Chains A and B, each alone.
Chain A
């Protein structure tokens, strides 16, 4: 168990550019979540996958944001035409899906810190 990994850890980009982040969940986890955390705030939910299906999207996920999880393994989060307000830490989390269980701990990755200049 190597934990949730995210790449890159840091990304600096100019306004208007596109960026893509990758998340590799813990191997046996079928649920994957993306959160965004701005300075001084708690993480805010963006979207959630069960296997390859994107089951829920937050209103925070504007049409410039898109997330995929092909084959139910790693996931990518792309931001098109970045804006300065997109500057934040983007956190990925994964969890198992034990049948009948309500409690399932989400394991978080180290995050990707995005700075839009």
Chain B
């Protein structure tokens, strides 16, 4: 079974609008962390936001917020006020367990295209 599922291969949004990128996860471990990364065409993975399984509040980082619904096992990324520079591939990832060194498990990604 897929550990991380991103069901939207591509999303299109106009500048200044908000967009939600979906992510669902599957784990039986009570301790886990959820990450979102951005990958522009240059290829480098850029960390955006993190949510821990025990965090009571949804994470926010500037224009990025994570809509964490633990019971539904979803961790959707919300980008407010989209900018042209937001056009990129976005990956949801999970770390299972409580060891900081555990590798990340990535989804297949969503391509976001922002138009003017």
Interface residues of A (CB under 8 A from B): 31, 33, 35, 40-45, 48, 50, 55-56, 58, 89, 91, 93, 95, 97-98, 101-111, 113
Closest 5 CB pairs of A and B: A42-B106, A108-B45, A45-B103, A104-B100, A111-B43
Do A111 and B44 touch across chains, with their CB atoms under 8 A apart?
yes
Do B93 and A42 touch across chains, with their CB atoms under 8 A apart?
yes
Do B100 and A101 touch across chains, with their CB atoms under 8 A apart?
yes
A-B contact pairs, 28 of them (CB 8 A): A33-B103, A35-B104, A40-B109, A41-B109, A42-B91, A42-B93, A42-B107, A42-B109, A43-B45, A43-B91, A44-B106, A45-B103, A45-B104, A48-B101, A50-B101, A56-B103, A91-B45, A95-B101, A97-B100, A97-B101, A98-B100, A102-B31, A103-B33, A103-B50, A103-B100, A105-B50, A108-B44, A111-B44
Cα separation A102 to B29 with both chains bound (whole Å) = 14
What are the residues of chain A within 8 A of B45 when measuring CB–CB? 43, 91, 93, 108
Cα separation A111 to B39 with both chains bound (whole Å) = 11
Cα separation A31 to B103 with both chains bound (whole Å) = 10
Do A102 and B108 touch across chains, with their CB atoms under 8 A apart?
no
* Distance in Å: Cβ of A5 to nearest Cβ of chain B: 11
What are the residues of chain A within 8 A of B47 when measuring CB–CB? 105-107
Which residue on B lies nearest to A89, using beta carbons? B43
Do B104 and A41 touch across chains, with their CB atoms under 8 A apart?
no
What are the residues of chain B within 8 A of A98 when measuring CB–CB? 100
Do A110 and B43 touch across chains, with their CB atoms under 8 A apart?
yes
What are the residues of chain B within 8 A of A58 when measuring CB–CB? 103
